[in-house]
Structure 1
Amino acid sequence: MPEAGAITDEAIARLRGRIGIAQPHPQRPWYREPNTDAFRQVAEAFGDDNPLWCDPDYGAGTVWGGPIASPNMNGGDTLIGENEVQKLDAETKALLKGDPLKGAHAYYSGSYREWWAPLRPGMRVTRRNALVGVHDKKSEFAARTVHEWTAEVFATVGAVLSAQYRLMIRTDRGAVERRADEGAGKYDDIVIEPYTEEQIAEITEAVSTEAERRRGAEPRWWEDVEEGDELPPLVKGPMRVTDMVVWHTGMGMGLYGVKALRLGVQQRQRVPGFFRPDDLNIPDVQQRVHWDPEWARRAGNPAIYDYGRMRETWLVHLCTDWMGDDAWLAALDVEFRRFNYVGDTHWMRGTVTRKYLTDEGAPAVDLDICGENQRGETTCPGHATILLPSREHGPVRLPTPPGGATTAAEALDALVARFENMSAE
């Protein structure tokens, strides 16, 4: 008989039976009717005051002909999009009930984004959410590992806008616990040193000149870019609790949908396992590890830490500043390998690794991107694909959604096929 939390062939088969079945997202969108105020609030939440998303009048003079949202707002968990699937029939409910891998350890390992069309003010956006891939992997860290991919596709009338794919890595709990015991205290040697006045002055100078590195209205022509080119680094930090408070005001409360007061009590009644008592015996959300030092320490960390998605927005900011108004960020992925603690400073970096024409004939470049903290640790490596204007090939042409989809349902079907092919590779 398998131990509790073990991954079995039967459990994986049950999980795969859910692939492609759309279900309602559990959280309402933070912005039901996104407008230019929302565009600005989201951008400022991660420290970006690019007028392309923050000034309603600026966009009229660009190739977009009007205001558009940052790629960070164009899709992304819980920000926009009303559920296309509102209710499930009894048979589908039964199929989706429970977690086939219940007891297996789960952690949010990475995010992958694609963008096919701009988000404009007043668009009514819908979303479609489903499991799209279950990949059985071998791992040196656990007896068995499953890569569980969930896709969320965002669309408007007649067009698919974007998609986000979340990678949850599921591992045999017994193997993970044994390894955790062997590596107990692995964060004990992390020390977040106080900054000297000179260090603060250096970081302040780097941050103060941030707007100068923004390409803006000057086109970054594809012909002028070479493989090996490095992007000017973007400095984020030192991170404060205040930065996470501001992050939440613009980005919402994420997948957990944390509520206040009476609404918080109702949430605790629905999901009591997400709460535990504080030092005054008042039930509070587990998410408090992101703003309470003592809760973070009890979770085995030396300090409060950020959300992986926060650094994802920083990497998007790095790319959009470099590429300029006339370009298009087509795709970006990032792995969350280490924590980013309050007090850490990150240098977001990028290098052009490939210059080419896509299958559709669009001038493109691929980048290696990452965030590196003041201890020299890379916490969030990733990649990006940017479409650039060209003197020879003309202005940017937006990419075609998977399978030429024009609806979220069509795109989701095409993504299921894509992830199935990934599993076979």
Structure 2
Amino acid sequence: MGGSRVLVVGAGVIGLCSAWRLARAGWPVTVLERRGEAAAGASHANGGQLSYSYVAPLADAGVPAKALAWLLSADAPMRLRLRWDAAQWQWLWRFYRVCNRKANRAGSAQLWRLAQESRVLLEGLREEGLGDFAWRRNGKLVLYRGAAALEHARQGVAAMSELGACQQLLDTDACHDLEPALAGLSGPIAGGVHTPDEEVADCRLFCLAMQRRMLEEGLDVEFRFGREVSGFEMAQGRVRQVLLSDEALPCLHLVLAAGVGGAALARKLGLRLPLYPLKGYSLDMPAGECLPVLSVTDFERKTLYAPIDGRLRVAAAADLVGYDESPDPRRVAGLRRQVKRDWPRAGCLEQAMEWAGLRPATPDGVPMIGRAPGGPANLWLNLGHGALGFTLALGSAERLAREMAGG
């Protein structure tokens, strides 16, 4: 069809990386984004960790029992608000079925391979001069407050070492020696796991750098912001046109990379995807006197503290509460209390900027990349990365491009 282009829906980190990789492969690409700019959704102010070795899915043995206890706590790391929503119930049932060690190990292995591919690609982009996005390889320290949790971590380190991860189990003193800012941490810790080659960066700045890079390279990519997809025109088992409010765009291939919005778009094409939002929160603030050098995760609290470009990014929560993107004041207040109680000198909390975003999650934590089973012949998916979208974006785009090329 004359004038047809690859239409990528979504200008977050997944959509932009997809567009870049496809354009580099020679495809003419148009990026469609319903918001007014890139990285305005889940990519805007996420935790900032490029966590290549901590990729285990949320679903694991023991999580359902923990979730029941979390429901009774105002500051729990996970919150569930049951709705009259068949998609939510189906997602929860599928999640429950993969809450076992075998499924978790299988998912971890898949995500590990994808993460390592992403790491290599990001290194290549940096060497080519991508531009500043507050990247730093500072390592990651996961803290465990209880002996049982630390023992569970020991088993995890052994499992990840079989895949090739370089991690070290540390006792309390070794954690403090490694990260002096722990002097400002309240409460005892039993130990931790250190991964020296983990990284941090600003996902939004990375997205903007990728957008600039595509334009600077002269790739055949155009960006259409403020344009929401309203429907599709089909012919002979293919998406022939993508419908906007005031025009129809000829479609060579359609790539859904719209995060949580991908499920609704797929339904317009007759597909029901196992995709549901996990709502997360972050606080971004100026550094305090005990800003950590490492990226630190408090395992029991499920809270991360990432030093990004002289500021502190604190992120937490995985709430199944539907599609409402607005910050819950109670949830924000709980995160503020936690920061003030647990690490009061790490950042200037009174100047913190609040954010909430919806992370598109699959029940088993493994993203959907490639051709859509049962869908139109020219429909492709790059969806469901959960909290690992930034970490997995480049590897996911590479795999998508290979599949679209028939490789």
Coarse TM-score class (shorter-chain normalised): under 0.3
Higher helix proportion (structure 1 or 2): 2
Calculate the TM-score normalised by the size of structure 1. 0.24
Calculate the TM-score normalised by the size of structure 2. 0.25
Structure exhibiting the larger radius of gyration computed from Cα positions: 1
- Between the two structures, name the one with larger relative contact order (CA 8 Å, sep ≥ 6): 2
